[in-house]
Chain A
Amino acid sequence: MSIAAKANALWEYANPRKFLATSERVLPFFWISSALFLVVGLVWGFFFTPDDYKQGSTVKIIYLHVPSALMAINCWLMMLVTSLVWLVRRHHVSALAARAAAPIGIVMTLIALATGAIWGQPMWGTWWAWDPRLTSFLILFLFYLGYIALWEAIEDPDTAADLTSVLCIVGSVFAILSRYAVNFWNQGLHQGASVMRAGAITGTDTTEKVSNVFFYPLLTCIIGFVLLFIALVLYRTGTEIRARRIKALLARERVNG
């Protein structure tokens, strides 16, 4: 198959009917495999890895903290891509997928913040510190909040899709800008942010600093979270499509009846 034909095959899923049929076929696979990976990863991580020599058993919250933080950022990236697709090609499924993903993203952000606080309390002696990473996640949370609120506030679905898409694009630029601004700001405040940095583990840091004993179950959990995210987005997008259809049917009935 040529590349153009493959690209065409991808756009076929812009048809809601085709999307629903396919997503319903593949959804069970994603549910089951994500459950499998999560159960294996979490059980492996919680019961079959040794305690860290410094952190004790608190290190095990890493199996929830890192994957959720990863998905919180990737979810925004996915929304950015689908928003662009909506603005350029006007596929409704794309806009609805962005809408469906936002609540998942905000929950992932909250999980990352909450597990981080629970982890930080015994390790740093504080639930919260204005560390650059923590602060940028809080700002990401605010972005999700504004995005969802804008979706909810506008009645006309196409207008809402357009406006939230533009907000997502502008917000992405400002989110990146905030990330660097926050880095700058905290270095300006505390000269020695190195203590916090060792504790604030993110995806990129763990691969270098976590030993293999912790890394493989962590990888399993990350795969589980990715699969879970895909399953949730497919499921919620299907729900959004059906809700849109019900609305259209009700409107038609009002006009006819």
Chain B
Amino acid sequence: MRSAWVVAKRDFQSFFYTPIGYIVVGMFALISGLAFVFSFNMYVLVSQEPTMYGYSTVPDFEETLLSPFMVFCGTLIMFLSPLITMRLFAEEKHRGTIELLLTQPLRDRDILFGKFMAAMGMVLIMMLVVGVHVAIMGYFAEVEVLVLVFGVVTVFLMGAAFISLGLFVSSISKNQITAGTVAFGLNLLLYILGYTGENLPEITPLPEHVAGIIRVPLDFAYQTFRAFVMELPVDAHARELALGVIHPKNVVYYLLFCSFFLFLTFRALESRKWRS
């Protein structure tokens, strides 16, 4: 684990040797800051005259402001994560430094976790930015601590999911631009898939005269597909979690998502041993 830490430290530092680290954190601070100001303003307006905005009483602070903002921050990481992950393996391959890394006394898993931790370090910095917003919020309003904690955990888990996916894409590409584009495309695809899922009818759309023997498997296939499309997106599980509602499936989803892509990355790294 010490070796993984060494790798992580260098990779994390190198984000800030180049402008990319500053750009990512800066963009995050700018956009999340603007979003925070707008939604905070909006909440103030709504709470002054709730009936004008269709609420009967003052809406719940956590529910209408805090958790959606947290989920928004997680979604923002979705857009920025390819910039963080694209270089991690692709650049090493492009520059040939992967040969250096793989001939040092390091295990594959040291390299893998080192890179993952370095990228998560970037996510942590973004969380610090969120922390500033929350501190301002806490100054003006009483915030329910548990919701806050879960909000932060949610952003962190979303970040971990996007990072692990990006890391895998980077590990199979030789070019940073390719790695970034593909990771971004996949993130976006997952995101859009969630909205598609919501629009799919609940009952299998089949003509009425279809016989039972065909209907049953078709129905099964459609329901599986629908469930899959609805459950797969990274942000789908964030909304409940950010409210402080803990369903094990939501936490397990993120753990599985990360382990799956980290496993694939590990295999991709290992593939040099049998690929020619």
Is the pairing of A and B real? no
- B residues near A (Cβ < 8 Å) are none
